[in-house]
């Protein structure tokens, strides 16, 4: 199956690399960003140089609204990559509820509700694929990353649940768990 429409957080790092790889495989890419508009626009430029359509959409307060905008610009969504994540480095005895909530909300809650909205679109178009990015830290443990590890471990459990729930609609849900990566300043 040829992937035509692809959505990812992709202003830098893993998201940018995945988005450029998808464009090389003939996918049009929707780039989402939280605060790095310049990075997202750079990714869009690189994708367009590869001859593919691309658009950058900033994070909005409501995930449903963001996916409505995606529906207006692109007719279909084949793949969603949930790769947004903030680590929230904090020594265990110094973590505060606000930091915990920010990490869990961004990483786990955001992944769930983006998956739900993408699945609504995919269900109407006969299926698709959702890929969630976790981390090796969720299974191995790393000092000062308790909220991050918990959020990403939750993503692994959620992926299994979503795979069961969405299988009847021909929507595949998978996860992968990379280790630390060094960002290259020049992609493509």
Instruction: Look up the pTM and report it.
Output: 0.85
More reliable by pLDDT, 136 or 12: 136
User: Is residue 110 domain-shared with residue 73, that is, in the same domain?
Assistant: no
Count of domains forming the chain = 2
User: Is residue 108 domain-shared with residue 39, that is, in the same domain?
Assistant: no
Q: How far apart are CA 127 and CA 78, in angstroms?
A: 7
CATH number at residue 47: 3.40.50.720
For CA atoms 187, 9, 55, 172, the dihedral sign is: positive
Residue that terminates a domain, selected from 77, 95, 123: 77
Nearest to 121 by CA among 176, 160, 59, 63: 63
- pLDDT for residue 175 is more than 50: yes
Please give the full DSSP string across 133-164, using - where no structure is assigned. E--THHHH--TT-HHHHHHHHHHHHHHHHHHH
Residue that terminates a domain, selected from 62, 77, 92: 77
- What pLDDT is stored for residue 47 in this prediction? 95
- pLDDT for residue 62 is more than 60: yes
- pLDDT (tens digit per residue) in 25-34: 999 988 888 7
- Whether 148 sits among the annotated catalytic residues: the reply is yes
More reliable by pLDDT, 50 or 56: 50
Q: What is the CA radius of gyration of the chain?
A: 16
Residue 86 and residue 137 in contact, taking contact as beta carbons nearer than 8 Å: no
Residue 92 is given by DSSP the state: G
Q: Which residues contact 79 (CB under 8 A, 6 or more apart)?
A: 3, 5, 6, 7, 22, 27, 128, 129, 130, 131
Q: How far apart are CA 180 and CA 89, in angstroms?
A: 14
More reliable by pLDDT, 62 or 80: 80
Range of the domain at 103: 84-179
Catalytic residue among 88, 148, 149, 155: 148
- What pLDDT is stored for residue 85 in this prediction? 85
- pLDDT for residue 73 is more than 70: yes
User: Is residue 89 domain-shared with residue 67, that is, in the same domain?
Assistant: no
Angle at 84 between CA 41 and CA 67, to 5 degrees: 70
- pLDDT for residue 93 is more than 60: yes
User: Is residue 159 domain-shared with residue 113, that is, in the same domain?
Assistant: yes
């Amino acid at each position: 199956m040829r992937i035509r429409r692809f959505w990812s957080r992709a202003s830098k790092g893993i998201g940018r690399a995945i988005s450029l790889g998808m464009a090389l495989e003939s996918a049009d890419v929707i780039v989402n960003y939280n605060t790095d508009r310049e990075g997202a626009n750079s990714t869009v430029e690189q994708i367009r140089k590869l001859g593919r359509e691309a658009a950058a959409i900033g994070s909005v307060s409501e995930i449903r609204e963001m996916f409505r905008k995606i529906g207006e610009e692109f007719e279909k969504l084949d793949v969603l990559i949930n790769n947004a994540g903030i680590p929230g480095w904090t020594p265990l005895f110094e973590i505060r509820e606000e930091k915990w909530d920010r990490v869990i909300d961004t990483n786990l809650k955001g992944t769930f509700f983006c998956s739900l909205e993408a699945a609504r679109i995919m269900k109407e178009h006969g299926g698709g694929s959702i890929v969630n990015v976790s981390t090796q830290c969720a299974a191995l443990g790393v000092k000062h990353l308790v909220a991050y590890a918990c959020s990403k471990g939750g993503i692994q459990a959620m992926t299994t649940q979503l795979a069961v729930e969405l299988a009847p609609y021909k929507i595949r849900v998978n996860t992968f768990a990379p280790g630390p990566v060094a960002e290259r300043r020049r992609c493509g």
